[in-house]
Amino acid sequence: MAVLVTGGGGFVGLNLVEALLARGEEVILFDSGVLPPAAQRALAGYGRQLNVAPADVRDAAQVNQVFESHSIDRIAHCAAVTSGAARESRDPATIIDINIRGTLNILEAARAHGVKRVVYTSSGAVYGESLYRLSRLYEESPVMPITLYGITKFSAERLCARMRALWDIDVVCARLGTVIGAWERDTGVRDNYGTHTQLAGMALAGKTAVLTPREVRRDWIYSRDVATGLIALLEAARPPHALYNLSSGIEWANPIRRWCEVLQKAYPQFEYRVAAAGEEPNIWYTDVDRNLMDVGRIAQDVGFAPKYPMREAYADYLDWLRRTPEFFG
């Protein structure tokens, strides 16, 4: 039996696919786009353990075809438009269709094919205004999504809960923190590159980064930890809740400066400085400060704890960069 990963060619998806394959799982990588050459190379050694299924979650017939062709008993549903404001203004319909209707198509397939567990990757963006108003975000904290991304993620979460009740399917939602790490890229549906990824690209290109004078406060989580957390939710026999925060639970100290230092050491042509008065930064920051998502529930219920604090995350991320320079080509 295989695990289906929708959006398997995306940022979270590729990290999860790698981790599942490394554990010996059979994986169906479901994605509407083409895998980048670096990912094809990284996954080439897994042979028949990996199947790539080019399909669009909006198309119920394509989704069904994937389930007809493979024996799937678990699903990690990662396919989504990670939209920025420009796309939300320009093409809100596609965001709704992929993030909400696409999720319904996956739930319908899960029901029709007797899938044992669906894990839906939601987002801290669901909390919306609460990220700034509340000092700590628990799974039961009030939500007030602002962006269409956060709105559609919340809709999809609640859709999962409703269909779980009506159809008696097993669906668990994970609200991800701000993920950094390998495989983040412009897939065509990912608008806001993380700050770390932008800096990595500049380091490899030998450019100079101009930073804002202040750091961003948030609980970053390393992409390999996200994969581990999702696998814990895919495998838990009977998780007592249907919704989990999945983040590091820790505010990293000066994460942007530290990442610049790590990059500078590895790539001496790379330079960085804080913007002078009146100067524009040349990297985009991942949103504004936000408060921490509490991770007590996922630790308690499925025993998940992140294995990569900031320093270890950066070392591993740098190692991946060195092994995968063509990814930024």
The reply on whether position 132 binds a copy of itself by CB under 8 A is no
The reply on whether position 287 binds a copy of itself by CB under 8 A is no
What is the rounded CA–CA span in Å between residue 306 and residue 315? 15
Query: Which residues are CB-neighbours of 274 under 8 A, at least 6 positions away?
Result: 210, 211, 212, 213
Cβ-in-10-Å burial (0-12, 13-18, 19+) of 278 comes to exposed
The reply on whether position 143 binds a copy of itself by CB under 8 A is yes
Looking at the Cβ atoms of 9 and 145, the one nearer to a copy of itself is: 145
Query: Which residues are CB-neighbours of 150 under 8 A, at least 6 positions away?
Result: 123, 125, 126, 127, 128
Stretch that binds a copy of itself, among 63-71, 81-89, 227-235, 268-276 (CB under 8 A): 81-89
The reply on whether position 104 binds a copy of itself by CB under 8 A is yes
Q: Distance of alpha carbon 317 from its chain centroid, rounded?
A: 15
Q: Tokens 């970053």 sit at which residue? A: 220
Tell me the residue ranges of DSSP E strands in 42-196: 50-54, 72-77, 117-123, 136-137, 171-176, 178-180
Stretch that binds a copy of itself, among 95-103, 187-195, 230-238, 297-305 (CB under 8 A): 95-103
For the CB of residue 118, give the shortest distance to a copy of itself in the complex, in Å: 15
The reply on whether position 84 binds a copy of itself by CB under 8 A is no
The reply on whether position 85 binds a copy of itself by CB under 8 A is yes
The reply on whether position 96 binds a copy of itself by CB under 8 A is yes
Q: Which chain residues interact with a copy of itself by CB under 8 A?
A: 85, 88-89, 92-93, 96-97, 100-101, 104, 142-143, 145-148, 151-152, 154-155, 158-159, 161-163, 166-167
